[in-house]
Amino acid sequence: MKSIADYDKDILQNSNNAELYRLRGIEYYKIEDLYRAINDFDQAIRIDPNFAQAYINRGNAFELKEDPDRAMADYTKAIQIDPKNADAYFNRGGVYSLYGAVYLYGQNDIDRANEFFDQAITDYNQAIKIDPNNAMVYVNRGMAYNSKENFDRAIMDFNQAIKINPNYASAYWQRGDTYSRDSKGIDKAIADFNKTLQLDPNHDGAYNSRALMYIKRGDYAKAIADWEAVLRLNPDDSTAKMNLEKAKREREKAKKEAKAKIEEIQQRYEQEIRSNPNNAEAYIKRGYDFAARGLAEGGNQVFFDHAIADFTEAIKIDPKATDAYFSRAGVYSQNNDHDRAIADYDQVIQINPNNAEAYAFRGAAYSQNKKYDQALADFNEAIRLNPKCKNAYRFRGVMYFINEVRNKENADYDKAAADVDKAIADIEEAFKLKPDDGAVADLLKKVKNEKEIVDRMRRERQERYDRLVQEMDKASTEEKYQDLAQQLRTMRGYKNSIELANKCDNQYQELRKERECREAAEAEARRRYYAKEKRKEELKKPTGLLLQFGMLFAYLYLLWGTGLIYSIKESVFWNIMLPAVLSLVLGIISRLFLKDTMPKLPWGTVFLVFGLAATTITANVWMGGGVAGGVFFVILALIPVTLVYFMWADSYSSIGSNIGLTLLAVALTAIVGGIISSISENPCIFIFIMLVLPAIPGMIIMHKTEGASW
């Protein structure tokens, strides 16, 4: 990892690199040197005004500087530049949440606060749409829902965050905080705070939150231990100090009160137990009183411990005392010790196999342990034994309700709807059996509200599916198909959403390939154009002119070897015209059909070389120079030709086509020159042929194909 000094050196060498300034700014940000960090982000933006990430980084620095307005402006600018940047939406959502908290807690303006929380949720929704696997966004959206007191939606978001990242400590902490707002959620809250501290032992917030839950349960010793842990982590935490001192005072007060209440209950049964120490019924009744007192004081463990001790004593006296097992199991369940509760219910059922209530409560314990199949079997058995067992219907309805919530969290709304219907049917039956049970009435109301939520989600899912299908029919860009594929996959297999997502992926890949091919073709065309322009410029330079004169000499050498043969009238066709015409025809065919995409083996060039070689050698033999002399002329002519086109051609294939054109010019010149020289022996005409005629076709062809100057 580079240091600030490393970036200093890089910036000295490349002072116009916006990314270097941004990276150095991040290093300053890490050490909270916000002045220099913001200066670097400013410089990055000056160099590149459309640098979205630099705006995001500067917004982060402004937030740390407690300047949320400027942070908001930077995040908004980043979104304008890059509407697909999930970080920009996430960060801006955080600023909206901050504004909402100010109005909620600072000014008690709930309506204004909710407006900001709604804007935050909108930004978090967009961030999730872009990146559905970012657990942090779900946690922040859940916190916004919490602030709006939409606790069910908050729990769903925290659950999703945990599903994405099971080791995300803050997700458990926030979910625990949500559970803690309901008096019935204390145990769940403590379980989440325990998990938070398991993942992050230095999480002072979790210690503080758990301590508050222990206070509600009257467990002052554990609350005191947690606040002492907070102070070990943050010795200057004045709130923790205050809570700790208060908890110690409350503990002493609670001890005195508990002692007095315990003595009161013990005295109530003292005479009965003293008169008959083996009176199991007396211990059971006293255990009831201790358990009731513990419940009345919010789950005070001191009274629960006395209750368990009395029920245990009753069982020792009478091992078949089903009421003692049943009641002790109830206290164990209050302590979330469901395994021990199940063991006690087992004993009740063993003693009395027809005890429907024992099956119902054991089913509830199995349900708490998430053993739903065993729970359902117990509920069904309880109802079979007693069709009017209210608790069996109630507990089974609650289990269906739990399953509904789990299926809803997994976006399986069809199963959720089926479960909530079963839950309503069971809880309504329980309510019919005891219409004056307020707890059942409240539960029924809650489940019916949940049904409305599930039905709405099913409608929204179908509407969203229909909308995405319609958008697929209209989609025409890579970005749109990619976005549709992501959205369809978040529907988690609804109908044929996965198949449609795969189709969108295929369309995206096809469009991307087409674009890449198009861009590659355009790049190749630009490369060829600039290469041609470069050759034009090079050919205007002295070296280019010298090479062109080299070509003229090559023409002259070949002309001298082929043209003079026409002074011999015999066998003109067989010795000269046939190979020259054949070479000319093959060269033209190659040029017309292969053009600039001639393969690596330039066949047109090969034919021309062989044809001209045959012509030149034949002419030289007739003149008495022999085959060796003819070969010498051919090689001497090809040397400058090869040098020119290996230096100036822009690809190997065009080397072949360009050499072919050049040799075609040589062939034309040779044929025309030979014919003219055979017709006239005028020295002036001969000199004109030797010096001027070879340049005309060569320069014309070079001008048309290579851009040479006249």
SS (H, E, C) 321-374: CHHHHHHHHHHHHHCCCHHHHHHHHHHHHHHCCCCHHHHHHHHHHHHHCCCHHH
CB-CB contact of 345 with 361 (8 Å): yes
Over range 161-175, report the average pLDDT. Answer: 93
Asked if 140 contacts 128 with a C-beta cutoff of 8 angstroms, the reply is no
Report pLDDT for 663.
52
Average pLDDT of the chain, as a whole number: 80
Using one digit for the tens of pLDDT, what is the confidence trace for 293-305?
A: 988 877 777 889 9
The pLDDT > 70 percentage for the chain reads 75
216-260 residue pLDDT tens: 887 888 999 999 999 999 999 999 999 999 999 988 887 888 888
Classify residue 624 as exposed, middle or buried by CB count within 10 Å of its CB (0-12, 13-18, 19+): exposed
> What is the phi/psi pair of residue 442, to 5°?
-65, -40
Q: Give 429-451 pLDDT, tens digit per residue.
A: 999 999 998 889 988 998 998 88
Q: Give the up-direction half-sphere exposure of residue 326: CA atoms within 13 A in the CB hemisphere.
A: 19
Segment (H or E) for 268: helix 238-275
pLDDT given for residue 529 in this prediction: 77
Output the pLDDT for position 684.
52
Tell me, yes or no, if the two domains 83-154 and 167-263 fold the same way. Answer: yes
Q: What are the DSSP calls for 372-385, one per residue? A: HHHHHHHHHHHHHH
What is the token pair recorded at 525? 């065309």
> Above 50 in pLDDT, residue 703?
no
CA distances from residue 444 to 375, 405, 518, 633 in whole angstroms, order as listed: 20, 15, 63, 108
Average pLDDT for residues 386-396, to the nearest whole number?
Answer: 95
Domain spans in the chain, listed from the N-terminal domain onward: 1-79, 83-154, 167-263, 264-464, 486-537, 541-706
C-alpha span between 182 and 188 (Å, rounded):
10
**How large is the C-alpha radius of gyration of the chain?**
46
Better-scored residue on pLDDT, 469 or 553: 469
**Measured distance CA(33)–CA(44) in Å, rounded:** 17
Q: How does residue 607 score in pLDDT terms, banded at 50, 70 and 90?
A: very low
pLDDT band of residue 192 (cuts 50, 70, 90) is: very high
Q: Which has the closest alpha carbon to 309: 296, 330, 329, 328?
A: 328
Strand, helix or coil for residue 147: helix
Are 465 and 491 a contacting pair, CB within 8 Å?
yes
* pLDDT score of 1: 66
Q: Which residue has the higher pLDDT, 45 or 531?
A: 45
Closest residue by Cα to residue 485 from 509, 463, 462: 509
For the ranges 105-109, 370-374, 573-577, the one whose mean pLDDT is highest: 370-374
pLDDT at 541: 59
Query: Which numeric CATH code is attached to 167-263?
Result: 1.25.40.10
CB 481 within 8 A of CB 507: yes
Of the two residues 254 and 658, the one the predictor is more confident about is: 254
Query: Is the predicted pLDDT of residue 274 greater than 50, yes or no?
Result: yes
- Judge whether 7 and 27 are in contact, CB under 8 Å: yes
- Check pLDDT > 50 for residue 115: yes
| 25: pLDDT strictly greater than 90 | yes
Mapping DSSP to helix (H, G, I), strand (E, B) and coil, where does residue 487 land?
A: helix
pLDDT of 670 reads 52
Q: How many CB atoms lie within 10 A of CB 177?
A: 22
Checking if the pLDDT of 108 tops 70, the result is yes
For the chain, helix (H) and strand (E) counts, in that order, are 33, 0
How many CB atoms neighbour CB 410 within 10 A? 14
Q: Which of 219, 242, 217, 218 is nearest to 230 (CA)?
A: 242
pLDDT digits (tens, 9 = 90+) for 409-418: 677 888 888 9
Q: What is the DSSP secondary structure assignment for residue 104, as one 8-state letter?
A: I
- What pLDDT, on a 0 to 100 scale, did the predictor assign at position 562? 45
Per-residue confidence (pLDDT) for residue 15, from 0 to 100:
87
The dihedral over CA atoms of 609, 611, 613, 618, expressed in degrees to the nearest 10, equals 180
The amino acid sitting at 595 is K
> Residue 27 is encoded by which pair of tokens?
């290093």
pLDDT at 610: 47
Q: What is the pLDDT of residue 647?
A: 42
**How many CA atoms lie less than 13 Å away from 129 in the CB half-sphere?**
14
Homologous superfamily of domain range 264-464: Tetratricopeptide repeat domain (1.25.40.10)
Percentage of the chain modeled with pLDDT above 90 = 46
Q: Please give the average per-residue pLDDT across 177-205, as a whole number.
A: 91
pLDDT for 295 equals 85
313: number of Cβ within 10 Å: 19
What does the pLDDT average to over 99-112?
Answer: 89
pLDDT score recorded for residue 254: 79
For residue 667, is pLDDT > 60? no
| 627 within 8 A of 620, measured Cβ to Cβ | yes
Give the position of tokens 């069971």: 426
- pLDDT-derived band of residue 337, with 50, 70 and 90 as boundaries? very high
| More confident site: 473 or 258 | 473
The CATH code of the domain at 1-79 is 1.25.40.10
Architecture in CATH of 83-154 = Alpha Horseshoe (1.25)
DSSP 651: S
Q: Find, among 651, 648, 617, the residue nearest to 634 by Cα.
A: 617
Lowest mean pLDDT among 26-30, 52-56, 63-67, 401-405: 401-405
> In degrees rounded to 5, what are phi and psi of residue 692?
-105, -45
Please name the residue ranges forming H helices in 490-577.
497-540, 542-563, 572
Is the pLDDT assigned to residue 308 strictly greater than 60? Answer: yes
**Interaxial angle between packed helices 301-317 and 322-334, expressed in degrees from 0 to 180 and rounded to the nearest 10:** 160
| Angstrom distance (rounded) from CA 207 to CA 240 | 10
4: pLDDT strictly greater than 80: yes
Report in angstroms the alpha-carbon separations of 398 from 274, 428, 442, 661. 43, 12, 12, 90
